[in-house]
Structure 1
Amino acid sequence: MPSDAPIRSSFLRPALVIGLFLLALQLIAIIFAPWIAPFSPIEANPIDSLQTPNAIHWLGTDELGMDIFSRIVFATRVNLLIGFAAVAISLAIGVPIGVLVGYYRGFTGALVMRFFDFIQSFPVFVLGMALVAVLGQEIWSVVIVLCMLFVPMFSRIVRAEVLSLRERPFIAAARCSGAGDFAIMFRHILPNAMTPVIVQISVSIGMAILLTAGLSFIGAGVRLPAPEWGLMVSSGAQQMILGVWWVALFPGLAIVFSVLSFALLSDEAKRLLDTSRPGVRR
């Protein structure tokens, strides 16, 4: 029986501790935002426009007089909602497609993969602007854009695993025991194909947060006055040359720490899964 000492030691790794700490801060901001934020995140107050960080407005105010700290706290809800929703929907769609096209090889599977190639050939920001023009500048428009990027990615990951697993001896044994295709795909193959998917989930959430900020930065994402990190960076970027650095800096740091937390957790999840899962489960 393998020792669980490597698994226990993985929980003491600095990268995991930092990742969990940053994630915990985001979850606290999501749950307790109304109590943490001292001001409304959407109410403008022109009298307080462009105040530097001070005792009242801890991170200063933007050109509309909105408190930056309050907007960053509430923006955590928006950015993580988009990230989690996009990844969850992409998982629900992409994983079954990946299993099916990997198990049933042939013309249909090749056609699906070529369709994914066609979708992924569009630059994400061009696709975002096109969908915003059709669907409107709403949160769910951003989610749809991200799903169109992530569904092919999850499908390809699962398909690659299924192509390898379907030829293993334990699959032949399952067929000999009378198991049908559905049972083989979703009871025997899929559980063994989920390790890279689990790792990719954390990476994709961080990527979704970064892409959401990028779409909002170019005007194809969330619209004012909704609090969103990329939108805040966009509104402050034009003023940095005038010395108004705080409007864009602090939301930019929020993006950095959020993406960093999921990148660290993804790396540690891969280490943990590789340690605790030395072989394929039958």
Structure 2
Amino acid sequence: MTTPAASPQPHSLEMQSEIVTSPWKDAWRSFTKNKVAIVGLCIVIFFILMAIFAPWLMPYDYNKTSLTERLQAPSSQHWLGTDDFGRDILSRIIYGARISLWVGFICVSGSIVVGCTLGVLAGYYGKWVDIIISRLFDILLAFPSILLAIAIVAILGPDLTNALIAIAVINVPNFGRLIRSKVLSVKEEEYITSAKSIGMSDARILFRHILPNSMTPVIVQGTLAVATAIIEVAALSFLGLGAQSPDVDWGKMLADSKQYLVQAPWTMIFPGLAIMLTVLGFNLMGDGLRDALDPNMKN
């Protein structure tokens, strides 16, 4: 009588339960371990949710005036006080988050699209294409950013849309030069050489292989750039070149209240705190993303 053949030994439990991780999962795990970055993420989420649900969170109409309640100090009725027209400051800060965040995200998105397109072309094709695009970046970077933004808005006219265009333009060279340097190294990789050898088109190589592998520093820079864009838009609005009545953003609130700094300091303190906290949140989150996505920052 023959004995049955022994069944093959199963793999160990550790091998069966082995989890295949991806760079993005590793980055997220590293990001969540950074407590400071999580604080920044929570601040950003708080202001984003505040902007989304602004109509339901505002205790009053943000443009409702009441001269009998002008320049009232913070109280149980108006938690953050009122401005010189009796408008509730808390309601205006909540609604102003919509414009400030929206402008910040749109500016950076436009800068990324234009800057990355030009940077990829300059890095991939080189020669005269690189020379022309790089000199364009150098010209834009030769001007102080806020002065260039003021000049653009002065030409186009004081308006929130024109301020958005100006902020997007001054940030284009930052993203363009960043991704150009990344493309210069990525295009020398063996898989790019292989793709060229089998006759793959330049467009397919650029958008299927080079661009996705060059976006890590852009993501980090984009997060930090949103904070910068919010400050720049607030600065333009403070100078009267951004949001115009009846629109409201935090920079315009500061401009409208500057003459009441001594008489009613809360009219400037609370919009200033909103700008500071939002910028702080994006900066903390951006630093955390840099630490998580940059291999050189890992132990």
Identify which of 23, 43, 61 aligns with 1:40. 61
Cα RMSD, aligned residues only = 2.3
| Other-structure match for 1:137 | 158
Residue 118 (str. 1) matches residue 118 (str. 2): no
Q: Offset at 1:130?
A: 3.3
| Other-structure match for 1:227 | 248
| Other-structure match for 2:227 | 206
- CA distance 1:89–1:163, change in 2 (3 Å): same
* Aligned residue type for 1:64: F
Report the Cα distance in structure 1 between the residues aligned to 2:30 and 2:174, rounded to whole angstroms.
32
Once the two structures are overlaid, the 10-residue window that deviates more, 24-33 or 179-188, is: 179-188
- CA distance 1:33–1:154, change in 2 (3 Å): same
Q: Offset at 1:2?
A: 7.2
- CA distance 1:33–1:12, change in 2 (3 Å): same
Q: Offset at 1:128?
A: 3.3
Q: Offset at 1:6?
A: 7.8
Runs of 4+ deviating beyond 6 Å: 1-6
Q: Offset at 1:9?
A: 5.3
Once the two structures are overlaid, the 10-residue window that deviates more, 130-139 or 46-55, is: 130-139
Once the two structures are overlaid, the 10-residue window that deviates more, 97-106 or 24-33, is: 24-33
Once the two structures are overlaid, the 10-residue window that deviates more, 78-87 or 105-114, is: 105-114
Note if contact 1:42-1:226 (Cα within 8 Å) is conserved in structure 2: no
Q: Offset at 1:237?
A: 2.6
Cα offsets for 1:97-147 (capped at 9, x unmatched): 111111111123212221222223333333333333343322211110111
Note if contact 2:30-2:292 (Cα within 8 Å) is conserved in structure 1: no
Q: Offset at 1:257?
A: 0.8
Q: Offset at 1:86?
A: 0.8
* Aligned residue type for 1:270: R
Residue 249 (str. 1) matches residue 269 (str. 2): yes
Report the Cα distance in structure 2 between the residues aligned to 1:188 and 1:128, rounded to whole angstroms.
34
The TM-score with structure 2 as length reference comes to: 0.85
The SS at the match of 1:137 is coil
| Other-structure match for 2:47 | 26
Report the Cα distance in structure 2 between the residues aligned to 1:163 and 1:11, rounded to whole angstroms.
31
Report the Cα distance in structure 1 between the residues aligned to 2:144 and 2:21, rounded to whole angstroms.
46
Residue 51 (str. 1) matches residue 33 (str. 2): no
Q: Offset at 1:50?
A: 0.7
Residue 274 (str. 1) matches residue 294 (str. 2): yes
Report the Cα distance in structure 2 between the residues aligned to 1:9 and 1:165, rounded to whole angstroms.
24
- CA distance 1:9–1:112, change in 2 (3 Å): closer
Residues 70-219 of structure 1 correspond to what in structure 2 (within 5 A)?
70-219=91-240
Cα offsets for 1:178-210 (capped at 9, x unmatched): 223222222221111111001111011111101
What is the total number of aligned residue pairs between the two structures? 277
Between Structure 1 and Structure 2, whose CA radius of gyration is higher?
2
Report the Cα distance in structure 2 between the residues aligned to 1:109 and 1:6, rounded to whole angstroms.
32
Once the two structures are overlaid, the 10-residue window that deviates more, 228-237 or 156-165, is: 228-237
Q: Offset at 1:239?
A: 2.2
* Aligned residue type for 1:273: L
The SS at the match of 1:238 is helix
Residue 265 (str. 1) matches residue 285 (str. 2): yes
* Aligned residue type for 2:294: D
| Structure 2 alignment gaps of length 5 or more | 1-19
Report the Cα distance in structure 2 between the residues aligned to 1:9 and 1:191, rounded to whole angstroms.
21
